[in-house]
Amino acid sequence: MTDRQNIEAATDMTEQSAEVVILGAGPAGLVLGNLLHRAGIDCVVLERADRDRLHARARAGFLAANTVRVLDRHGLADGLHRRGKPHADCEFRTGDGRFRLDYAHLGRGERHTVYPQQHLVADLLASYLDAGGRLRFGTEAHRVLDTDGDRPTVEATGPDGRPVRWRARYVAGCDGRHGAARRSLAPGAVVHHHDHGLSWLGLLAEAPPSLDAVGYAVHERGFAGHMARTAHITRYYLQCDRGTPPDAWSEDHIWHELEVRMRAAEYGPLHRGSVVQRTVVDLECDVVEPLRHGALLLVGDAASLITPSAAKGANLAVLEAELLAAALVDDLTHHDGRALADYSDRCLEHIWRAQEFSNWMVRLLHAVPTPRGGPSSFDEGLRRARLAALRTSRAQQDWFAENYVGL
């Protein structure tokens, strides 16, 4: 029997309840859980992975200035202040040379904090559990029912394989693009989707960073990216053909491509090390409208998928979680539903602006393929013009800095 058949066939399904059921223990779900629990809202987080897997999930590591402010505001930033590293430089390498932007002195004068997402998740998780928050590991949500009523229901399978039903006042879908929240959307939901037709081979290497900046290499063989994570771990990206398996390239081939595309012969060798993680990322994006469907509210990747080209995903998730927490507290504690009614519109304003900049970054860094397969000479000319403007125009640099760090 499938999990769904088990649920439907069970006659002894366990029933539990909370005012707010949160699906997913990523940054969005854990920030939301921490803020609701501290406000005295009865909530529970349902997470399909176990705790070890949650700690090991390596994702984005660039926290925007606003994200740090949100975490500071709620006493959730101790770990990132102890172990995070301020970062404010990016370097572009092209066939026309290289140039560097110190974006902390451009735009609004803001910088990133480099703090691996698995460390942030570990901090948020410890804060939530230490305060007595409820979290169910190994619990997979399958669907959300009755979202247009007063008591929606989440049907799930617990860690023992037995079905469980959670009743709530609200359900917060923080479980990503393929989670139960998205699968449970009513037919009236609109999902705007765009596929850039590009893919990256994402790599985590046990190697010190090779430059003290985020590196963006634009090369005729394809894009390459360098992002420091810690003193001993570096994230790399390599543009690859759509459909390339993660293990298709040997380590020697990977390092050769990185050195060629990042022009190591001109600008200095890369520090090599073992490649400990590989994944292929298709550069796709989508936005759900609206983000509220009765008692079901979408947050983070469940609300919108964004390419990693500008490191916006986790930052949007934290911003949205704070907005939703305040709105739910107003509704459940003060019986004021105005902020909850505005939640979708407020978030979508930030989401679309982040999507626009992410799209701009994709077109800055890649020769975007045409329907016939190769890039057009016109688009390639536009890309070179964008890079030239970014290299020479202070106004363009200020615009870049404001959008690169901001939301």
Tell me the sheet residues that pair with 220.
Answer: none
Q: Is 208 a catalytic residue?
A: no
12 contact partners, CB below 8 Å, separation of at least 6: none
Q: CA 244 to CA 246: how far, in whole Å?
A: 6
Q: Are 181 and 144 in contact (CB under 8 A)?
A: yes
Q: Are 83 and 73 in contact (CB under 8 A)?
A: no
Q: Is 293 a catalytic residue?
A: no
**Given the residues 112, 293, 312, 366, the one annotated as active site:** 312
What dihedral angle (degrees, nearest 10) is formed by the CA atoms of 257, 259, 260, 266? 180
Cis peptide before 163 (omega within 30 of 0): no
**Given the residues 115, 237, 343, 404, the one annotated as active site:** 404
**Given the residues 170, 308, 350, 366, the one annotated as active site:** 308
Backbone angles phi, psi at 227, to 5 degrees: -135, 115
Residue 66: strand, helix, or coil = helix
Q: Are 154 and 43 in contact (CB under 8 A)?
A: no
Q: Which residue has the tokens 């990256």?
A: 200
Residue 329: strand, helix, or coil = helix
Across the beta sheet with 163-167, the strand order is: 14-17, 163-167, 153-157, 140-145
Backbone angles phi, psi at 47, to 5 degrees: -130, 125
Q: CA 289 to CA 277: how far, in whole Å?
A: 34
**Given the residues 170, 216, 237, 343, the one annotated as active site:** 216
CA angle 300, 304, 305 (to 5 degrees): 100
DSSP 370: P
- Take residue 289 and report the two structure tokens written for it: 């409208």
**Given the residues 37, 87, 226, 293, the one annotated as active site:** 87
Q: CA 383 to CA 342: how far, in whole Å?
A: 38
Q: Is 404 a catalytic residue?
A: yes
**Residue positions annotated with a catalytic role:** 87, 216, 308, 312, 404
